[in-house]
Amino acid sequence: MLTERQLLILQVIIDEFIRYAQPVGSRSLAKKANISFSSATIRNEMADLEELGFIEKTHTSSGRVPSEKGYRFYVDHLLSPEMISQQDLDKIRSLFTERIYELEKIIQNSAKILSDLTEYTAIVLGPTAKENRLKRFQIVPLNDDTAVAIIVTNTGHIEHKLFSFPGTITRSDIEKMVNILNSRLKDVPLIRLREKLFHEVVTLFKHHMENYEYLLQTIADVLNINQHEKLYYGGKMNMLKQPEFRDVEKAQEIFSLIEDEDGVYQLLRKMPFGLNVKIGSENRIQAMEDCSLITATYSIGDDQVGTIAILGPKRMQYSRVISVLNLLSKQLTDSLSRLYDS
Amino acid sequence: MLTERQLLILQVIIDEFIRYAQPVGSRSLAKKANISFSSATIRNEMADLEELGFIEKTHTSSGRVPSEKGYRFYVDHLLSPEMISQQDLDKIRSLFTERIYELEKIIQNSAKILSDLTEYTAIVLGPTAKENRLKRFQIVPLNDDTAVAIIVTNTGHIEHKLFSFPGTITRSDIEKMVNILNSRLKDVPLIRLREKLFHEVVTLFKHHMENYEYLLQTIADVLNINQHEKLYYGGKMNMLKQPEFRDVEKAQEIFSLIEDEDGVYQLLRKMPFGLNVKIGSENRIQAMEDCSLITATYSIGDDQVGTIAILGPKRMQYSRVISVLNLLSKQLTDSLSRLYDS
DNA sequence: TTTAGCACTCTTTATTAATGAGTGCTAAAT
DNA sequence: ATTTAGCACTCATTAATAAAGAGTGCTAAA
């Protein structure tokens, strides 16, 4: 168990290091206003804290730097929630005050604002609905052999795909097909579309149409798209502002991680509900060992859940980032539920 | 006028510098297979070439580096078109062999392939149609007060926007409106939609509907989107591979240029038809003085024109990049015209 | 005209020395 | 029993100096 004084010293060391990215020495600590004992005392305490694994030295006679365990303790026990300035609050509110009715735009802007506010990289995962349903299926012929298929979900999400078809298929064939599809597939959850298509709808096709095989396959392709929700990034380049990434090699490493959308998607998807902080190697990814990832979830109604996240150096302003993410996730949940929950 | 020997020396200096990014000295030149005179002779010639402004020294006793004028001369007079390997050809062909019918996907993949092939940053501007026309206007109600409006163009391009409407407007109002819009606006060029809407359609609305003002405004909003065509990037991070951008400051500068989509759009749009090379300060942009931009245009049929571009260091493999851009722009023009020209 | 030879320049790299921030330990002070 | 002053010691950083090497320009011989 740590004494009050040790807690204080640990906290100040981490605060200072987060701020200045320099190892913290006993002398500079002793000068701080809220510390009233000598540098020698601090040295003794620091030796203890080091023995306990909360801080480290970069070389034998250097100041101390937080260890991963130190950051973890700091995040779990020492964090005082940071007040968010009126200015920043306004920025967040601006997301909702303009009458943007496009969910996608709001989500995208969230990433932008998040990165502006924190100076780190923001990643936002659009809302994944457990139960997204088909609202409408539509085909618009463009000319004699190509058409565009459109699906609209109950959340107003749209997917489309161009396809071509053999001349043997007429416009009335297509119309018939669209009618069948809409009558049978309306309000069916997207995940079930495929099975429904191949079990129920296919028999109707057989009855009412010739040459249905080709179209069936195309439809299956179109319905197959909406695999997973989009990722939005903000401030990708902010990483370069951090002194830990002044080295281009390091920067490239982290960028190739960020650019790997599939990987990032997997990473975010498995984050638990609510707020979560993963520090350095807790992320279990080599390239992220010098990074921390903080995530928060937002939801739209009871069904859709999305994630907002900040990726930054381990030496991150945890307090501020956590406050901002908490606030924004709540605001998103409130406002989006009001706008889109149907 | 330069002598044969001077031409040879200039060419080899630039080739070497492009390859190794190191100032080129007389001794190393003399060792090259195709050079049969001594280093002293080369030194004399280099002094002349420097006086003429084609090459420069980085300090009094350094080897020579091409000047901007040197690169310009090289591009205009010394370039031998590079053979493209079968492997690279296959990569480019792969764009069209898979049956991807989505124009957007093909364009996007072009950027990816272009950056893979060159190891620079690729920027592709989607096809801008002088004469994109409306094919279909559609509204899908999601619930009692929100709906999504969809427009489909003759090129299969889709735009959509969510909007909400007051409860006083019924579904049959909306249906009526959609019918009017489709009958009046079908095949109208996108640019004329607004004027047509406010002159012709508005009178019909007045006759057939009450409370049309609100919807009219919304429709106008929806039709207003498709401002300009999208940009696609490939290999943004390739810049970091170049030794000239090992300095993080420089890298940030160039990245903030790349990320400014509006700026890039303006830049690409004003490029002339066909192939174009802009070297360093020829771009007339401070942040690009160490970069070269090579652009080529592709077209779909007679109407739509787009641009593919490579951004790299001034020390760029001009020969290769020009060959690749020429080839891909031709392939895009051929294949896309075949697929989409209607 | 071309080239060998040489003095000279400037960068790069290694070596050494000086400075200073910081530590750990001991012994005195509280 | 704590706390603190004092001091020897460590290591990174900075500056100064030297040595090596790549390259140039010029002169004079081929």
Nucleotides, chain C, CB distance < 7 Å:
2-5, 8-11, 20-26
Residue B227's contacts (CB-CB under 8 Å, 6 or more residues apart) are none
Question: Using CA atoms, how far apart are residues B233 and A41, in angstroms rounded to an integer?
Answer: 57
Where do we find the tokens 């204080």?
A8
**Range scoring the smallest mean pLDDT among A53-62, A129-138, A210-219, B73-82:** A210-219
Residue A266 belongs to domain with CATH number? 3.30.450.40
Name the pairing type of β-strands B276-279 and B55-57: unpaired
Say if the Cβ atoms of B148 and A164 lie within 8 Å: no
- Would you give the DSSP letter of residue A64? E
CA distances B335 to B133, B252, B341, Å, are 22, 37, 10
- Number of Cβ pairs closer than 8 Å across A and B? 91
Last residue in a domain, options A169, A192, A223: A223
Which chain A residues are within 8 Å of B236, Cβ to Cβ? 259
What is the domain count for chain B? Answer: 3
Q: Using N-to-C axis directions, what is the helix angle for A86-97 and A103-118, rounded to 10°?
A: 170
Average pLDDT per block of 10 residues along chain B, 342 residues long:
95 97 96 93 97 97 97 96 94 83 86 98 90 90 88 87 84 89 92 88 83 81 73 96 92 94 94 97 95 96 92 98 97 88 61
Say if the Cβ atoms of B158 and A154 lie within 8 Å: no
pLDDT over 60 at A342, yes or no: no
pLDDT single digits (tens) A150-197: 999 888 888 888 888 888 888 888 898 899 999 999 999 988 888 898
Say if the Cβ atoms of B138 and A143 lie within 8 Å: no
Q: Which of A61, A57, A156 is nearest to A102 (CA)?
A: A156
How many CB atoms neighbour CB B146 within 10 A?
Answer: 16
pLDDT of residue B103: 80
pLDDT of residue A100: 61
Q: Which of B101, B143, B161 sits opposite A163 (nearest CB)?
A: B101
Residue type for B13, please? I
Asked if residue A56 and residue A120 are part of one domain, the reply reads no
Asked if residue A282 and residue A236 are part of one domain, the reply reads yes
Q: Is B59's CB less than 7 Å from nucleic acid strand C?
A: yes
The helix (run of H) or strand (run of E) holding residue B181 is helix B171-185
Q: Using N-to-C axis directions, what is the helix angle for B261-269 and B248-259, rounded to 10°?
A: 70
Q: Which of A140, A156, A252 sits opposite B146 (nearest CB)?
A: A156
User: Closest approach of chain B CAs to the CA of A246, in angstroms?
Assistant: 6
Establish if A225 touches chain B: CB-CB under 8 angstroms: no
Asked if residue B237 and residue B121 are part of one domain, the reply reads yes
CA distances A137 to A44, A154, A220, A226, B119, Å, are 72, 12, 12, 14, 42
pLDDT single digits (tens) B34-82: 999 999 999 999 999 999 999 999 999 999 999 999 999 999 999 988 9
Mean pLDDT across chain A: 91
Average pLDDT over every residue of A77-98:
92
List the B71 CA – D29 C1' distance (angstroms). 37
* b/e burial code for range A33-48 (CB count within 10 A of at least 16 → b): eebeeebeebeebbee
Say if the Cβ atoms of B246 and A246 lie within 8 Å: no
Q: Which of A138, A301, A178, A180 is nearest to B160 (CA)?
A: A138
The neighbouring-strand residues paired with B153 are: B134
User: Closest approach of chain A CAs to the CA of B110, in angstroms?
Assistant: 18
Q: Is A44's CB less than 7 Å from nucleic acid strand D?
A: yes
Q: Is B61's CB less than 7 Å from nucleic acid strand C?
A: yes
Residue A26 belongs to domain with CATH number? 1.10.10.10
Residue B145 belongs to domain with CATH number? 3.30.390.60
pLDDT of residue B101: 64
Q: Chain A window 237-276: which residues touch B at a Cβ cutoff of 8 Å?
A: 237, 240-241, 245-246, 248, 251-252, 255-256, 259
pLDDT of residue B341: 66
Asked if residue A260 and residue A208 are part of one domain, the reply reads no
pLDDT of residue A225: 65
Asked if residue A240 and residue A117 are part of one domain, the reply reads yes
Asked if residue A249 and residue A182 are part of one domain, the reply reads no
Q: How many CA atoms are closer than 13 Å to the CA of B120, on its beta-carbon side?
A: 27
Asked if residue A160 and residue A101 are part of one domain, the reply reads no
Residue type for A210, please? E
Asked if residue A25 and residue A73 are part of one domain, the reply reads yes
pLDDT of residue A341: 66
pLDDT of residue B132: 82
Here the tokens at position A230 are 């989009």
pLDDT over 80 at A102, yes or no: no
Asked if residue B239 and residue B294 are part of one domain, the reply reads yes
CA distances B47 to A215, B57, B133, Å, are 71, 10, 60
**Winning range, highest mean pLDDT, from A60-64, A144-148, B190-194:** A60-64
Q: What's B263-318 look like in SS3?
A: HHHHHHHCCCCCCEEEEHHHHCCHHHCCEEEEEEEEEECCCEEEEEEEEEECCCCH
Last residue in a domain, options A156, A189, A223: A223
Here the tokens at position B50 are 């420097």
Task: Give which of A99, A100, A162, A247 to mutate to test B binding, by max B Cβ within 10 Å.
Answer: A162
- Tell me how far apart the terminal alpha carbons of chain B are, to the nearest angstrom: 52
pLDDT of residue B226: 62
Last residue in a domain, options A35, A56, A78: A78
Establish if B138 touches chain A: CB-CB under 8 angstroms: yes
Q: Is A27's CB less than 7 Å from nucleic acid strand C?
A: yes
Q: Using N-to-C axis directions, what is the helix angle for B318-340 and B103-118, rounded to 10°?
A: 170
Question: Using CA atoms, how far apart are residues A186 and A126, in angstroms rounded to an integer?
Answer: 23
Q: Which of A140, A155, A251 sits opposite B135 (nearest CB)?
A: A140
The neighbouring-strand residues paired with B24 are: B64
Phi, psi dihedrals of residue A278, rounded to the nearest 5°: -120, 125
Asked if residue B204 and residue B286 are part of one domain, the reply reads no
List the B57 CA – D19 C1' distance (angstroms). 24
The helix (run of H) or strand (run of E) holding residue B257 is helix B248-259
Question: Using CA atoms, how far apart are residues A261 and A230, in angstroms rounded to an integer?
Answer: 9
Say if the Cβ atoms of B101 and A162 lie within 8 Å: yes
Asked if residue B248 and residue B104 are part of one domain, the reply reads yes
User: Which residue range forms the structural domain that includes residue A49?
Assistant: 4-78
List the B244 CA – D12 C1' distance (angstroms). 29
Confidence grade of residue A214 (pLDDT, cut at 50, 70, 90): confident
List the B48 CA – D25 C1' distance (angstroms). 13
Identify the closest residue of chain B to A158 by CA–CA distance: B160
pLDDT of residue A99: 64
Q: Chain A window 311-340: which residues touch B at a Cβ cutoff of 8 Å?
A: 340
Establish if A175 touches chain B: CB-CB under 8 angstroms: no
Question: Using CA atoms, how far apart are residues A91 and A95, in angstroms rounded to an integer?
Answer: 7
Residues 37-96 of A with CB under 7 A from strand C: 39-40, 43, 46-47, 50, 57, 61-64
Say if the Cβ atoms of A162 and B156 lie within 8 Å: yes
Q: Is A25's CB less than 7 Å from nucleic acid strand C?
A: yes
Asked if residue B299 and residue B311 are part of one domain, the reply reads yes
pLDDT of residue A258: 96
User: Closest approach of chain A CAs to the CA of B283, in angstroms?
Assistant: 23
Nucleotide D24: nearest residue by CA–C1'?
B61
